[in-house]
């Protein structure tokens, strides 16, 4: 569809939480040192956070949500709507949003549901939560996004293992008739469903005790089983370089804006080569397109809010900025939003301790 805008809503706070354990890619001895060095430089990920078995995405989101409520002096019973955007839910059923509603002490009047998106999930999530708030006159809501991807990644897959990190985020959103409308441009191409895929464990390829667990050699340095994330790097790369710029330019044109009027462009943190290539396509300076890949890797639907927290936190707390956010990847699904951020709560990144 064409671009659309959502009035009367504003972000009032963003928090991000990562697991305690740090994995340094220097120690990734599945590949030789020379290849490892090139890889680290190209993807731009020196280290990332790994969750231990037993910690879930919702646990990270919970920590971020509780901290936000404390800083905003919001009561859990004030929250009327929560959405959990993730591809690493607590259970196959039920939806994870309900578990968060209960654990955070929200009332039975709360609307709570999940959205199963990754790289584009933050932008999609904002559009859904904003639209519901705007039409339903919902005063306060929380958007949770994030993923634990490392548990589903094969150590013996050099194309995926060094890339992904784990994180969960919470974004507080409030109804405000003075807020500048958020403008969205959301797109999908399901023909590329297998460009990033965990093939087994759903209903299409039901988990099978013989075949799902079996590792296959895909190519040199790449072995995985049916539960591992499979990444078709070149396919995702070509898609992103073709579509993201177009999506952003169409959104700006429909909104009557130019990139000069945008203070920061926060892209999904795919990998450094991809993000830097998109930045060059857009002809924007480095300081306007922040990266958090170096320390946190690709954190799926958490990557945009996590980059805002870690790279722009103090700016967003102290001033008014116009931001363009763009997520792109698994689905294939992609989308961008232009929004205004005005003196929000943006605490330093939180660490979820190993229990």
Query: Which of residues 29 and 210 has its CB atom nearest to another protein in the complex?
Result: 29
Shortest distance, CB of residue 86 to another protein, whole angstroms? 27
Query: Which of residues 227 and 237 has its CB atom nearest to another protein in the complex?
Result: 237
Shortest distance, CB of residue 349 to another protein, whole angstroms? 29
Q: How far apart are CA 287 and CA 264, in angstroms?
A: 8
Q: ∠ CA 180-258-43 to the nearest 5 degrees?
A: 100
Query: Which of residues 38 and 348 has its CB atom nearest to another protein in the complex?
Result: 38
Q: Can you name the residues that pair with 320 across neighbouring β-strands?
A: 342
Shortest distance, CB of residue 209 to another protein, whole angstroms? 32
**Which residues are at the interface with another protein (CB under 8 A)?**
35, 38-39, 42, 159, 233-235, 237-238, 241-242, 273-274, 276-277, 280-281
Residue 124 and residue 137 in contact, taking contact as beta carbons nearer than 8 Å: no
Shortest distance, CB of residue 278 to another protein, whole angstroms? 9
Backbone CA torsion sign across 329, 348, 169, 83: negative
What are the backbone angles phi and psi of residue 181, rounded to the nearest 5°? -60, 145
SS3 85: strand
Q: Can you name the residues that pair with 62 across neighbouring β-strands?
A: none
Query: Which of residues 262 and 282 has its CB atom nearest to another protein in the complex?
Result: 282
Closest CA to 150 of 56, 17, 30, 26: 56
Query: Which of residues 254 and 276 has its CB atom nearest to another protein in the complex?
Result: 276
Shortest distance, CB of residue 30 to another protein, whole angstroms? 14
What DSSP letter does each residue of 104-163 carry, written as one string? TT--TT-EEEEE--STTHHHHHHHHHHHHHHHHT--EEEEEEEE--GGGS-TTBTTTTTT
Query: Which of residues 222 and 308 has its CB atom nearest to another protein in the complex?
Result: 222
Burial (CB count <10 Å: 0-12, 13-18, 19+), residue 267: buried
SS3 15: strand
Shortest distance, CB of residue 164 to another protein, whole angstroms? 17
Query: Which of residues 137 and 280 has its CB atom nearest to another protein in the complex?
Result: 280
Query: Which of residues 100 and 160 has its CB atom nearest to another protein in the complex?
Result: 160
Closest CA to 159 of 27, 26, 31, 304: 31
Shortest distance, CB of residue 205 to another protein, whole angstroms? 24
Shortest distance, CB of residue 280 to another protein, whole angstroms? 5
Closest CA to 141 of 67, 86, 74: 74
């Amino acid at each position: 569809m064409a671009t659309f805008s959502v009035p009367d809503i504003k972000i009032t706070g963003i928090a991000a939480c990562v697991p305690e354990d740090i994995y340094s890619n220097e120690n990734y001895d599945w590949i030789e040192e020379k290849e490892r060095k090139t890889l680290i430089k190209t993807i731009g990920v020196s280290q990332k956070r790994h969750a231990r078995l037993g910690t879930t995405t919702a646990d990270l989101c919970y920590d971020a949500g509780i901290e936000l409520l404390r800083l905003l002096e919001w009561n859990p019973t004030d929250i009327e709507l929560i959405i959990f955007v993730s591809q690493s839910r607590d259970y196959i059923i039920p939806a994870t949003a309900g578990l968060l509603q209960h654990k955070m002490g929200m009332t039975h009047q709360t609307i709570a549901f999940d959205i199963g998106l990754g790289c584009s999930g933050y932008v999609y999530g904002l559009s859904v939560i904003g639209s519901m708030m705007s039409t339903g006159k919902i005063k306060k809501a929380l958007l949770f996004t994030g993923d634990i991807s490392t548990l589903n990644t094969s150590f013996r897959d050099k194309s995926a293992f060094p890339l992904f990190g784990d994180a969960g985020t919470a974004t507080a959103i409030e109804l405000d008739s003075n807020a500048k409308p958020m403008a969205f441009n959301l797109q999908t191409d399901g023909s590329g469903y297998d460009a990033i895929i965990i093939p087994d464990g759903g209903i299409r390829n039901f988990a099978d005790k013989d075949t799902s667990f079996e590792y296959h050699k895909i190519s040199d340095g790449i072995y995985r089983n049916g539960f591992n994330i499979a990444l078709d790097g070149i396919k995702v790369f070509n898609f992103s370089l073709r579509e993201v710029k177009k999506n952003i330019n169409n959104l700006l044109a429909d909104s009557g804006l130019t990139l000069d009027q945008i203070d920061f462009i926060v892209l999904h943190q795919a990998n450094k080569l991809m993000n830097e290539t998109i930045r060059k396509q857009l002809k924007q300076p480095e300081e306007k397109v922040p990266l958090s890949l170096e320390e946190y890797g690709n954190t799926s639907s958490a990557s945009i809010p996590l980059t805002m927290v870690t790279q722009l936190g103090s700016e967003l707390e102290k001033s008014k900025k116009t931001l363009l956010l763009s997520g792109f990847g698994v689905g294939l699904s992609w989308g961008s939003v232009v929004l205004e951020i005005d003196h929000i709560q943006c605490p330093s990144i939180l660490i979820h301790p190993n229990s």
